[in-house]
Amino acid sequence: MADDRKSIIEDFHQVVNMSPQQLANWLKTEDSQEVGQKNDGDESIGHKSGRQIVELLERDESEYSDEEIAHMRKVVSYVRRHSAQRPQGDVKDTRWRFSLMNWGHDPLQDN
């Protein structure tokens, strides 16, 4: 289990390529708040996840709970799955990119 935990943390830090400050600033924008699936309330699942990601990035890895590790696994899965659906052309101002950014991954930083 310790190896699995370590692997998840490594994968999380690999796919989350935005700093805590970059992500926190992004989450304040209208574009951030307008994308994503909303189950209840006004906040999308991705936006809520982004707030959790900021908190995780600001803490020491030794403090992560099992629930937080599970969330990291969810982040990794979402970013990898959604990245594979990259649309053609310039993605700078697309809902696809904005959604990924809510999950801490800016595909334009891959370049």
Give the predicted TM-score (pTM) of the model.
0.91
pLDDT of residue 20: 96
d(CA 20, CA 70): 19
Distances (CA, A) of 78 to 16, 34, 40, 56, 73: 11, 18, 20, 17, 9
Closest CA to 56 of 93, 101, 103: 103
- Residue 87: enclosing H or E segment and its boundaries? none
Average pLDDT on 6-27 reads 96
Residues 34-54: tens digit of each pLDDT: 887 777 667 888 889 999 999
State the Cα–Cα distance between residues 13 and 10, nearest whole angstrom.
Answer: 5
Q: Which tokens hold the place of 37?
A: 């699936």
Structure confidence by residue, pLDDT tens digits, 49-83 = 999 999 999 999 889 999 999 999 999 999 999 99
Residue with tokens 């799955």: 81
| Percent above pLDDT 90 for the chain | 77
